[in-house]
Structure 1
C-alpha cells in the first residue's frame, strides 16, 4: 500500500464487506478536526478519523469476531455489533462517529473495509451477517 493513499487525490478504493459495492474514502480536515470522507455514488458521509484507532482498540479488547450490523441512522442498530458501538454513549466519543446528520449510520458497512485495507482487521465477505476482528 502506498503512503499517498488516503488523500483526496489518491483515495482508498474499497468494497463493502459483501463485495457488492465500490466506494472511496480519504482523510481530510474539517473545522480543525481530522475526518474520513466516504463517497458512495453521489452520497458523501463523514466519520470522525479517530474511529479507526478507537474501533481497533475495542476489537483487540473484545478478542473475537464482532458482527458488523450495518444500519442507516434512522434504524436501530443490533446490540453487540460494530454499528451499535459506533453510535453508543459508551464508546470513547460518547455517541456517533458519523458526523453528517441524516448520514451518521452505516459505520459497520464503510469503516471495516478501510481497517482491513490498513492491515488492522480481518473482515468476512459473505452476502450477509459479516463479522470483523482485530489483527
Structure 2
C-alpha cells in the first residue's frame, strides 16, 4: 500500500463529493495510524482498518451502506459505520482513536479505500454504499 505523509497527503472527497479532506499515515504510541484532516478537525483511525474493512467487505460479498454517524449518535445496523464500532470487529470496538471524534468512519475511510483500489464507492447525495474490489 502506498503510504502518504503529512507533506504529501491523499487529497480526498467525501462520498457525496461535497467536501474535501486530507489523509496521511503516521505513528502514535507505537501504532500506525491514519490521520484525517477535515478543515481544522483532526481525526485518527487505526491503520489496520484498511485491511480489516477490505476483508469484511470481501466476506460480505455485496454492496454495504456506509451509514456515517458522529461518535455520539448510534450507527444504523448493517452499515460500515456500525461495523467500525462493533465489539464483533477484529479490534473489538472502535477503529477511531480520538475520544469524541471516533465516528464518521463511514464518511472518511471509504474514499481512501477507493483511492487505494480496494473498494468501489457510490457518490450519491445520500445513502451511499461500498463494496470490495
TM-score range, shorter chain: over 0.9
Q: 2:113 aligns with which of 104, 112, 115?
A: 115
Match of 1:133 in 2: 131
Alignment equivalent of 1:31, drawn from 29, 32, 38? 29
Question: Aligned partners of 1:32, 1:25: CA distance in 2, in Å?
Answer: 19
SS of residue in 1 equivalent to 2:35: strand
Q: Match for residue 75 of structure 2?
A: 77
RMSD: 1.0
Q: Provide the rounded CA distance (Å) in 2 between the counterparts of 1:97 and 1:5.
A: 18
Please give the alpha-carbon distance, in whole angstroms, between the structure 2 residues aligned to 1:32 and 1:95.
Answer: 19
Please state how far the C-alpha of 1:4 moved relative to its aligned partner: 6.8
SS at match of 2:109: helix
Specify every segment of 5 or more residues in structure 2 that has no aligned partner in the other structure, as ranges. Answer: none
Partner of 1:49: 47
| Matched-pair contact (CA < 8 Å) for 2:3–2:25 | no
User: How many equivalent pairs are there?
Assistant: 133
Structure 2-normalised TM-score? 0.98
Alpha-carbon displacement from aligned partner over 1:47-88 (angstroms, at most 9, x marks no partner): 000000000000000000000000000000000000000000
Q: Are positions 1:101 and 2:99 aligned together?
A: yes
Q: State the alpha-carbon separation in 1 of the partners of residues 6 and 37 from structure 2.
A: 11
The 2-side partners of 1:5 and 1:15 are apart by: 18
Using the TM superposition, give the Cα deviation of residue 5 of structure 1 relative to its aligned residue in structure 2, in angstroms: 5.7
SS in 2 for 1:19: coil
In the aligned structure 2, how far is the partner of 1:104 from the partner of 1:112? 15
SS at match of 2:52: helix
1:37 aligned counterpart, secondary structure: strand
